[in-house]
Amino acid sequence: MGLFSSIANMGKAVCPYCFNSFKKSEALWRCNSYQCKNTNIEQDEAYTKFYNLPVNQLQPHIIKMPKVKNGFALCDLCGGMTNVKICPHCHSNLPSTDENIIISIVGAPGAGKSYYVGTLLKQVQSKFPTLKCTMRLDGQNRKLYDTKFKNYFESNKILEKTKQTNPGENIISNNMPILCTVTNSKQKARTFTFFDAAGENFDDEAIMRDVAPYIANSSAIILLLDPTDIPMVRNAICDEKGKAAVEENVISYEDLLNNLINVIKLAHASNAQIEIPLAICFSKWDLIENSPSLRPEGSVTLTPSPHFVQGFSESDCENISSDVEGLLNAWDQSNFILQARAAFKTVKFFVCSAIGAEAEMGKVPNIVSKRVEDPFLWLLNKNKLI
Ligand SMILES: Nc1nc2c(ncn2[C@@H]2O[C@H](COP(=O)(O)OP(=O)(O)OP(=O)(O)O)[C@@H](O)[C@H]2O)c(=O)[nH]1
Ligand SMILES: [Mg+2]
Ligand SMILES: [Zn+2]
Ligand SMILES: [Zn+2]
């Protein structure tokens, strides 16, 4: 069994938008025939309510008493076939594959979460063929990727801060997760849902409960940490570049991790060690590479990722993780390591640079990512997809 098996619960599915769980046989079908889309649209109350939309939201027909054969259902109105399955609770389109793997990106405001998700999707789309895999974004998710990331990357504009949701607001309608389908060389397909919230959601355990359903249902968590939040690192960079070079964050690594642990334990109603694999990834590694006093000469963290060149390398992952642990110990962060290992069964350390360099004067240089793919490929390997 792979690490992700808990989600592929016997005949049960979890909606990646509203997080209600239901029997797979309870999914509804929406007709997507040309004829029904044009003539049989109807008011969809569940969808309208979930997304807080104006009341007259119109959607194509939901099939009554569908007859299902080979993954298609016969429409009771037009007689056409459809493969569009929707959630019985919020009526959002369900992923096209049976297993949906949610990856939550957790981290303080400004840690680099949105850059991480955007550049990861960019890298994987272009480099995946070297691992004989493909990543596909459907129409809705391609549009989301383009407006959230691609347009910014291409015009060298800085990504906006992710919007924080007000209390009681639907966290999803402001900030849709991106779903993509990964197919490997053996035609095994999985849907990955990337959930990137505003960093403020993790500042405080009470606010974090808004995102608890995503986090608790995740198949993996990527905890993204800005290395300049480590006092020794911050001091060194301030000495080299001046105080204004580094913004100070309000939440410590320990508090962030503690909030994460508490929210998961509460949602799982269990105090046991957490089974969800945790990838702890240090962002903005270009700052470490370019700092004369911090640059860890000889460390594998300074080398490019080998995975897209020579196939996935487990030993490279091990070497990176132990190098990072060594650096964390040297930077006075051994408590943080102990805290993570005590709470999570599987912990690995990574480094990455999403942009590859610093943004200056409101302009982002052309993206040259380093090692953003490592945690994702590690998770794919654990799940036997690569
Ligand atoms: N040097 C360097 N800076 C980076 C890198 N990635 C992100 N940054 C900087 O960090 C800032 C914040 O990045 P975001 O990805 O928006 O951060 P976030 O974690 O999504 O922040 P919130 O949405 O507020 O939670 C960017 O505007 C960049 O200036 C990187 O790889 N290297
Ligand atoms: Mg963001
Ligand atoms: Zn739903
Ligand atoms: Zn129809």
pLDDT digits (tens, 9 = 90+) for 238-260: 999 887 778 877 789 999 999 99
Kindly indicate the confidence band of residue 10, based on its pLDDT and cuts at 50, 70 and 90.
low
CATH superfamily of 100-382: P-loop containing nucleotide triphosphate hydrolases (3.40.50.300)
Q: What is the mean pLDDT of the chain?
A: 91
Q: What are the pLDDT digits (tens) for 372-383?
A: 999 999 999 988
Q: Whose CA is nearest to atom 9 of ligand 1?
A: 112
Closest-lying ligand to the alpha carbon of 115?
Answer: 1
Q: Give residue 223 CA to ligand 2 midpoint distance, Å.
A: 13
| pLDDT for residue 1 is more than 70 | no
Q: Given this model, what pLDDT does residue 8 score?
A: 46
Atom of ligand 1 nearest to the CA of 197: 25
CA distances from 89 to 15, 29, 38, 140 (A): 9, 12, 24, 20
Which pLDDT score is estimated for 7?
44
Query: So what's the pLDDT on residue 141?
Result: 93
What average pLDDT does the segment 15-39 reach? 90
What distance in angstroms lies between residue 158's CA and the mean position of ligand 1's atoms? 9
Residue 268 has pLDDT above 80, yes or no: yes
pLDDT over 60 at 5, yes or no: no
Among 14-18, 221-225, 320-324, which stretch is predicted with the lowest mean pLDDT? Answer: 14-18
* Distance (Å) from CA 161 to ligand 1 centroid: 9
Secondary structure of the chain in the HEC alphabet? CCHHHHCCCCCEEECCCCCCEEEHHHCEEECCCHHHHHHCEEECHHHHHHCCCCCCCEEECECCCCEEECCEEECCCCCCEECEEECCCCCCECCCCCCEEEEEEECCCCCCHHHHHHHHHHHHHHHHHHHCCEEECCHHHHHHHHHHHHHHHHCCECCCCCCCCCCCCCHHHHCCCEEEEEECCCCCEEEEEEEECCHHHHCCHHHHHHHHHHHHCCCEEEEEECHHHCHHHHHHHHHHHCHHHCCCCCCCHHHHHHHHHHHHHHHHCCCCCECCCEEEEECCHHHHHCCCCCCCCCCHHHCCCCHHHHCCCHHHHHHHHHHHHHHHHHCCCHHHHHHHHHHECCEEEEECECCCCCCECCECCCCCCECCCHHHHHHHHHCCCC
Ligand 1 atom closest to Cα of 369?
31
Ligand sitting nearest the alpha carbon of 170: 3
pLDDT (0 to 100) of residue 271 = 95
Q: How confident is the model at residue 99 (pLDDT cuts 50, 70, 90)?
A: confident
Residues with CB under 6 A from ligand 1: 107, 109-115, 158-159, 161-162, 198-199, 283-284, 286-287, 353-355, 358-359
Q: How far is the CA of 190 from the centre of ligand 1 (A)?
A: 28
Q: Which pLDDT value is given to residue 330?
A: 97
Q: Is residue 74 pLDDT above 50, yes or no?
A: yes
Mean pLDDT of 255-277: 94
Identify the residue with better confidence: 299 or 176. Answer: 299
**C-alpha angle 364-376-218 in degrees, rounded to nearest 5:** 110
Mean pLDDT, residues 271-282 taken together: 97
Q: Map out the domains of the chain as residue ranges.
A: 3-86, 100-382
Pocket perturbation via mutation, ligand 1, pick of 104, 355, 366, 373 by most ligand atoms within 8 A of CB: 355
Which listed ligand is nearest to 15 at the C-alpha?
3
pLDDT tens-digit series, residues 330-354? 999 999 999 999 999 999 999 999 9
CA of 116 to the centre of ligand 2 (A): 9
Task: Identify which ligand lies nearest to the alpha carbon of 95.
Answer: 3
In this prediction, residue 324 has a pLDDT band, given cuts at 50, 70 and 90, of very high
Residue 290: predicted pLDDT: 96
Q: Percentage of residues in the chain with pLDDT exceeding 70?
A: 97
User: Residue 6: pLDDT band by 50, 70, 90 thresholds?
Assistant: very low
| Nearest in space to 203 (alpha carbons), one of 169, 164, 251 | 251
| Ligand at shortest distance from the CA of 78 | 4
Distance 206 CA to ligand 1 centre (A): 24
Nearest CA residue ID for atom 22, ligand 1 = 109
| pLDDT tens readout for residues 152-175 | 999 999 999 998 877 767 777 778
Atom 28 in ligand 1: residue holding the nearest Cα: 359
- Give nearest CA residue, ligand 1 atom 32: 284
Q: Ligand 1 centroid vs 243 CA: distance in angstroms?
A: 18
What is the pLDDT at residue 9?
A: 53
Q: How far is the CA of 304 from the centre of ligand 1 (A)?
A: 21
- What number is the average pLDDT over the span 45-67? 88
Q: Give the global pTM.
A: 0.92
